[in-house]
Structure 1
Amino acid sequence: MHRTPTGSLAPSLSVRTSRVPRPRAEPVPGRGAGYWTRLLPALAALAVLTRLPSFRHSLWNPDEGYLAVQARQLAAGGALYDTVVDRKPPLLPWLYEAAFAVFGDTSLGPLRVAALGAQLLTAVLLASTARRRWGDRAGRVAGVLHLLVSIGLNPEDTQAATFEVFMLPFTVAAVRCADRGQWARAGLAVAGAVLTKQTGGAALVPVLWLLWRTAAPRRAALLRAGAGLCGPVLLGALLTGPAGFLFWTVTGSGAYASFTGSELHVLARGLANTALLALACAGLVPPVVRVLRIARTGAADVWLWLASSAGAVLTGFHFFGHYYLQLVPPLVLLAAAALQILPPQRLTAALLASACACALFLTWGLLAPRPELAHAERLAAAVRERSAPHEPVLVWGIHPETYWLSHRAPATRYLTAGLLTNYSGGRDGPQVGEKYGVAGSWPVFRTELAERPPALIVDDSRGEPYGPERLPSLRRLLAAHYEPLAGTVDGAVLYVRTQSASAASPAG
């Protein structure tokens, strides 16, 4: 590589432009076979290694518990966005339901294997994209770096089989297909991302950029991409009911997405997760910054992808750690672009730093305790002891996994107190209460409990602002028809129906 008298690399790199580079020719069939036969086993082994902690616990976070309970409700005849509700799109609840139908509903092991496969597929798609643009070495670097960085947050966020993990392959596939001029497939991939989690739509920004810069004719390409995107989304809406689909995935989350309430709490979480991801990306950021100063990498679409993903992380102002996973693929591609320009020793340093950070997060995942899971397991044991298998129960808290662990059906479609009080967004300030819950939820909730009274109510609020003492409807219900049992489970209070209430109720 040519150097100037001052040691700058700028002259030898200045020939690069910010325009989208012409795609490299696809490898001749047969000539590139050895590349993938060597790379795929290495990526698969690395994916297994980095996902080992995911098999350590029965559950990693409440999102997994929520999906597991939803899958059981759907299998029992429930209807999504009607008697089974959440603010998320339908693809992952359906995947959980399918996995439970095939493998049984007592373990998330098959879903963990699927999550491992999703991360491996993401790495392969990134390798393919980088190889096409910048050569074989860049492809290998992109695949390896993704798997090293993909666990670089709290293990509860990276090792769980939840929305962002399954969304990533769709977002990378969208950019990869657009890079190849496959506009219908790019639209389909964006649709898959959106149907997994709404913020997957961020991948549409680089797709449209590539379409505008490279497609000819643009109108036909736009029609194909639009058909690919809109078809699956409309089908999902028709299968679940257009009104319910629109409300639960788009219009019904106004209070959840508000920044008002708990600003300092949410800001601290955002800064902490940003610091964790920065540590995981310690090997990626320096080469990207260095090349950004001295050259243009021809990756404008990837920068747009990173910017739109950052906007997706900001959406809703909650900054949960798993939101940050969406930033990893574009960061990895930018690093691959930078490292193919820089001297080989920079690549060695980047891989070493990423491997050390990965080892740190891997150790965290293998050794860190899960106190909230232990609490949910003790609570589930108490629920099983105090109720019959056919009796519905109400767990008033933010840990829906208690239903799944206890093998008890929920007495209501609202699986957490968060949907009824807005606490599910991490709020712990003034915007928590009955009037801040999902619109129309409290009349439905009161009707469900009147028609099918729970045999047991578990108040798992433990001093949080969604406790019954701050909610008139729930407080009146407990006072009129329930009495507390002696003792608590880690601070959770169990209520059983009074004899008079049981005698007067048809369910009793």
Structure 2
Amino acid sequence: MSDLDDETAVDGVDEVVNERDAGSAAARRLTDESLAERSNGGSTEQEPTGGHHPTGGESDTSFAGAAAAWGPWGAWGVAVSCTLMVLVAAASLFWMEARGADFDPQYMRTVVERTIRFGGSYYENAVHNKGPLEPFLYEIARRVGGFDGFWFMIALLSLAAACCVGAAAHVVTRLAGGPAVIGASVAAGTIVHFTLSGADYAGVLYARNITVALLCVIVVIAGTDACWTTGRRRIASAAGCGVLAGLAVQTLLTTVFAGSVVLLWVVWRRGRLETPRSRAGVWIVIGGAVGLVSAPIWYLLRGSWRDFVDGWWVYARFMSEATDRSLADQGRLGWDSLFEYYRERPEVVVFVVLWGVVTLVRWHRLDGAQRALRLMIGAWFAAAWVELILSQRYSSHYFAVLAVPTLLMLADLVGQATARLARTGATHPILAWMPALAIVLSLQIGALEGLRVGVESMWAVQSTEEFTERRESGYSGRSHTMRATLDAVSDEQDPILAWTSYPWTYIDLHRTSATRYIWKTFLLGEIYLGRTSEEFVLDGTWDRFADDLAESDPVAFVVESGNPVDESTPFADVVESDFTPVWEDGDGTLSFRNDVAEWLEPNTAGTPVDLADGDLIATDEPVRLDAGLDPVVPVVEIGLTGTGGVDASLTINRTNGSVDVDSWRSGVANWVRNVPAPPDAGVTIIVADDAVLMAIDGVVAGAVSREPVTAVWITTGADALLDPVESSAEPPGSGG
């Protein structure tokens, strides 16, 4: 079908439509203006209709393109503004790389790590009560950025989401009548706020940051005339808006309110150019349906329908029901939260009230497009509060859904206040400096710390590996020692079983969850900010738990002392029967699978080895030594040497009845562990590919990472190991 077949002209403009399809820019403007005049009923006193501005003047050019008209000072303003924006973008990436590793994002990373390790769908690898778009983006970050660059890729996606919000603010400023340079200024300030500010929704990639970004892209498409100039473009734009809204609702079901508001505005704004009036609406509905049902159909076809429904629908329903609040109670909580929110942010109240007053005062002067724009922004603001109220949770990062329509109110006010500049075509060079001024003001309002940290990190970090090194340099010596212990008997991203409520249990140890029940909450029916009950445990949970455990066959189990295993659960039976503790202290317990724990016990059946002070134990090949400790010699040191000298060591200091083992590695915190050591104690030294582990009578005494160490040696004042033997350095199978 040709473009002319797709176009349906309103009475009296058929010839104009034909000229437009031939490429006449003047005809495009005439068509829009004629239609706007007809839709306004011939009103003579109107504000500038959203989407087009008078010919001539700065408003018909882009921000950078107006430099010539502004002269030398204007060119400098453009250069400074662009330089500042590049600096903000670069600094924000390095700032958000650390900031992005928040609680829920870390959980999402564990979901993705497990999915990559075991295959299958996200819902077969975790309990996830949102749509698949969020883990999909996280998987892209993991596959592109790798282990070390993962959070940098998340920062890049966060920046992209902030730019989507900034673009929407720019479009609203223009639709309100403001010139392009003012729109660029509002966009720049918005991006600074959503990346470097202290707001908890800034600099992170939560599900709500994703949904508001999708809705903002719809605003940009609907407000950009170039997306609607031909029949094919209109179909693609309308369907695309629907798909984006469908994906937003699929990601978070409560987004349906804000999504509906934005789509209704798109239908009104763009549907008026067609007959029948609903054609754009038809394509939006089709696109929305495709976006919404794409995930259910996909999981139905791949045979994991039940896993998808259990997480996306059933568990989401649990999170609502567990609060035990009626709709009226939800409303009362929402009112209290609203009052508390604005009591802490009086400046936001000023913006919202001012926008409302200005809108009411000028309502009679607004044309249809301008009224629709204000109705959309106000309804989006109300829908955001409805979304928060129905979610029944008011975590600080949830307020991203409210921040966006509030910022659009501000953009609308700025656009109206500067509309005269667009109408008169003002070209004063000071305008070129407005984006730079907006960036500086936005930085002053709570974003300077983010800028400072981002710039410092930008100069300090030279590779993605350094991201990991900087983060892990802050880990405790216990964490480093426990991870080295696991490295000696398994590989990175191998499964471990954990009874925990924290995502970093896996991330800090570079391991993945042995089952889809990454947190114990899913096994106990604990609902965040709700009650705990077995009725909130998904049907078939314990059968799936057993199946996952059989598939993964984890080498280890970890649990925190302050969060003991519930003894009434099948989980406790598994731990009791299949695992043996090898490390217990005040913070928690590390257990190995029974066969691995047995293998760790001293073994006297092996090949005798002559070992003296200063001898080399191993270079490239794994080695295991078993012996007794000399009761006379108090100090034994196992040193690890790399290309730059001594990089790590395990130092044994024997005291009466016990030994202190100091696990030390350059650049990270060390860990001193005391373990019992009777006179006849046996010591096991395992030099694996990735770590060196020392155990006393089967109890882990210390461990250090071997990478990139090439040589391992022993030093004492005398023969410290009695009759050592060399035996198998390969542990039993280390997991699925």
Same fold (TM > 0.5): yes
Code of the residue aligned with 1:187 in structure 2: it is: G
Code of the residue aligned with 2:129 in structure 1: it is: R
Q: Displacement, 1:411?
A: 0.8
Distance 1:45 1:273 in 2: 35
Code of the residue aligned with 1:441 in structure 2: it is: T
Secondary structure, counterpart of 2:144 in structure 1? helix
**How many corresponding residue pairs?**
477
Q: Relative to structure 1, is the Cα distance of residues 163 and 141 closer, same or farther in structure 2, using a 3 angstrom cutoff?
A: same
Matches within 5 A, 1:235-384: 235-241=294-300, 243=305, 244-258=307-321, 260=323, 274=341, 278=345, 281=348, 284-285=351-352, 287-288=354-355, 290-291=357-358, 294-296=361-363, 298=371, 299-341=374-416, 355-359=443-447, 362=450, 379=479, 381-384=481-484
- Please give the per-residue CA displacement for 1:466-508, whole angstroms capped at 9, x wherever unaligned: x52365222333333334445336x3333334459989x9989
Distance 1:363 1:448 in 2: 44
Match of 2:177 in 1: 134
Distance 1:477 1:250 in 2: 30
Match of 1:96 in 2: 138
- Please give the per-residue CA displacement for 1:380-436, whole angstroms capped at 9, x wherever unaligned: 752441452275212222222332332223210122223333436244xxx225442
Contact 2:111 2:122 survives alignment (8 Å):
no
Distance 1:209 1:397 in 2: 45
What is the percent sequence identity of the aligned residues?
18
Match of 1:113 in 2: 156
Match of 2:545 in 1: 445
Secondary structure, counterpart of 1:252 in structure 2? helix
CA RMSD of aligned residues (A): 4.6
Distance 2:484 2:597 in 1: 21
Distance 2:452 2:348 in 1: 16
Secondary structure, counterpart of 1:423 in structure 2? coil
Q: Relative to structure 1, is the Cα distance of residues 283 and 270 closer, same or farther in structure 2, using a 3 angstrom cutoff?
A: closer
Q: Which of 511, 521, 542 is the aligned partner of 1:418? A: 521
Code of the residue aligned with 2:214 in structure 1: it is: F
Code of the residue aligned with 2:243 in structure 1: it is: L
Distance 1:20 1:502 in 2: 82
Gaps of 5+ in 1: 1-15
Contact 1:130 1:138 survives alignment (8 Å):
yes
Distance 2:546 2:527 in 1: 20
Q: Relative to structure 1, is the Cα distance of residues 379 and 138 closer, same or farther in structure 2, using a 3 angstrom cutoff?
A: same
Match of 2:52 in 1: 25
2:265 is aligned with 1:210: yes
Match of 2:589 in 1: 493
Matches within 5 A, 1:66-215: 66-85=107-126, 86-107=128-149, 108-136=151-179, 139-140=183-184, 142-150=186-194, 157-179=201-223, 182-211=237-266, 213-214=268-269, 215=271
Q: Relative to structure 1, is the Cα distance of residues 123 and 80 closer, same or farther in structure 2, using a 3 angstrom cutoff?
A: same
Contact 2:525 2:536 survives alignment (8 Å):
yes
Matches within 5 A, 1:459-470: 459-460=559-560, 462-463=562-563, 467-469=564-566
Contact 1:153 1:276 survives alignment (8 Å):
no
2:501 is aligned with 1:405: no
Distance 1:99 1:351 in 2: 28
The answer to which structure has the higher strand fraction is 2
Contact 2:166 2:190 survives alignment (8 Å):
yes
Code of the residue aligned with 2:589 in structure 1: it is: V
- Larger mean CA deviation between 109-118 and 357-366 belongs to 357-366
Distance 1:24 1:190 in 2: 22
Match of 1:395 in 2: 498
Contact 2:178 2:418 survives alignment (8 Å):
no
Secondary structure, counterpart of 1:260 in structure 2? coil
Q: Relative to structure 1, is the Cα distance of residues 393 and 441 closer, same or farther in structure 2, using a 3 angstrom cutoff?
A: same
Contact 2:342 2:349 survives alignment (8 Å):
no
- Please give the per-residue CA displacement for 1:318-371, whole angstroms capped at 9, x wherever unaligned: 222221111122111112223445699xx999999865432377489889xxx9
Contact 1:164 1:323 survives alignment (8 Å):
yes
Q: Displacement, 1:35?
A: 1.4
Distance 1:495 1:432 in 2: 28
Contact 1:189 1:229 survives alignment (8 Å):
yes
Code of the residue aligned with 2:498 in structure 1: it is: V
- Please give the per-residue CA displacement for 1:282-323, whole angstroms capped at 9, x wherever unaligned: 774463355367444830111111111222223331222221
The answer to which structure has the higher helix fraction is 1
Code of the residue aligned with 1:23 in structure 2: it is: G
Gaps of 5+ in 2: 1-42, 66-77, 229-236, 364-369, 420-433, 457-470, 600-731
Contact 2:186 2:438 survives alignment (8 Å):
no
